[in-house]
Amino acid sequence: MTEPDTSFRDFEHQGWSAQDVVTEYHDHLSPLTTQAVEAVLAAAGVRRGARVVDVATGPGYAAAAAAEHGAEVVGVDFSATQLVLARRHYPTIEFREGDAGALPFPEGGFDAVISNFGMPHFPDPDAFLREAFRVLRSGGRVAFSAWAPECIGFGMFYSAVQAHGRMDVSLPPGPNFFLFGDPAQCERSLETAGFRSVTVTKTPLIWRVASPDEPFKVIMKGSVRAAALLRAQTPEALAAIRDAVRQAVGAYARNGAFELPMPVIVATAEKP
């Protein structure tokens, strides 16, 4: 395996700056990921008048939901392409370009820091937690969501790659995609960053798709790390992976569609 010539941060930034990827995610994955938003807001104690920063805001879904709760919100993302979409859909909300590991804010200015599925995409998730701690006031809360390892839609995808292709392809090394699907890891990282009163819960989500071919297509077009893994396979392996995913999705037929269980971890903690 050849060593990749770019950092994980640059790899993710380049991927999430591509208009076609952003559009595909918005059209086909956001109906799934936005299901976790209310759980994250509740965990963070988002309320009317609270100052909230939404990190890895993407097209601004969680920021907009926080604003609907009456919070004063700013969304941060490192992708200018994502922020164009966010500002178009939510013109009354402030959005800034910036990195999760170096938030563009002074100390102690926020009541809540939230991130909906940002953790798998941060090159240094612990740096984000340290920054969240820094920008929170005493008594403020951080809350984030991350995929549980047993989520079916991604689990069947990686199982198919392991069975029919290669996982050891040339991609920039980054954190394990399911790292924060482990409650113990959430607790360790939050406490190391200085937080206390850690709570980790599991919330059930459902990915509802119209055909057994849809998850493969969506991952291929609307993701970055997983799509790169697929593109690195041989044509024969890719076809076998696609067939395996299609067959696995078929087992979840419900009421004329396909419903994939996608449980999510929501972790929260307080700054002393």
Q: What are the distances in angstroms from CA 118 to CA 5, 186, 213?
A: 24, 14, 26
In-domain check, residue 62: yes
Question: Interhelix angle for 214-222 vs 152-164, to 10°?
Answer: 90
Q: Are 190 and 136 in contact (CB under 8 A)?
A: no
In-domain check, residue 218: no
* CA dist., res. 73 & res. 96, Å (int): 11
Q: In the prediction, which pLDDT does 174 show?
A: 87
Task: Tell me if residue 237 falls in helix, strand or coil.
Answer: helix
Task: Tell me if residue 104 falls in helix, strand or coil.
Answer: coil
Helix (H) or strand (E) holding 206: strand 206-209
Q: In the prediction, which pLDDT does 1 show?
A: 35
CB-neighbour burial class of residue 193 (10 A; exposed 0-12, middle 13-18, buried 19+): buried
Q: Are 58 and 96 in contact (CB under 8 A)?
A: no
* CA dist., res. 155 & res. 223, Å (int): 15
Q: In the prediction, which pLDDT does 5 show?
A: 47
In-domain check, residue 88: yes
Mean pLDDT for back-to-back runs of 10 residues, the chain (272 residues): 64 94 94 98 98 98 98 97 97 97 97 97 96 98 97 94 94 91 98 98 96 96 95 97 98 96 98 98
Structure-token pair, residue 232: 């690195």
In-domain check, residue 55: yes
Contacts of 154 (CB under 8 A, 6+ apart): 147, 177, 226, 262
In-domain check, residue 28: yes
Q: Are 98 and 104 in contact (CB under 8 A)?
A: yes
In-domain check, residue 165: no
Q: In the prediction, which pLDDT does 171 show?
A: 87
Q: What is the dihedral of CA 151, 153, 154, 158, to 10 degrees?
A: 120
Q: In the prediction, which pLDDT does 84 show?
A: 97
Domain of 18, in residue numbers: 8-149+174-206+264-270
**Angle value at C-alpha 69, between 66 and 70, nearest 5 degrees:** 100
Q: In the prediction, which pLDDT does 6 show?
A: 66
Q: Render 150-204 in DSSP notation, one character per residue.
A: T-HHHHHHHHHHHHHS-S--S------TTGGGSHHHHHHHHHHTT-EEEEEEEE-
Q: What are the distances in angstroms from CA 26 to CA 4, 16, 89?
A: 28, 12, 11
- Residue 99 bridge partners (DSSP): 102
> Total domain count for the chain?
1
- pTM (predicted TM-score): 0.94
Q: What CATH number is given to the structural domain containing 201?
A: 3.40.50.150
Question: For residue 254, what is the DSSP state?
Answer: E
Q: Render 133-149 in DSSP notation, one character per residue.
A: HHHEEEEEEEEEEEE-T
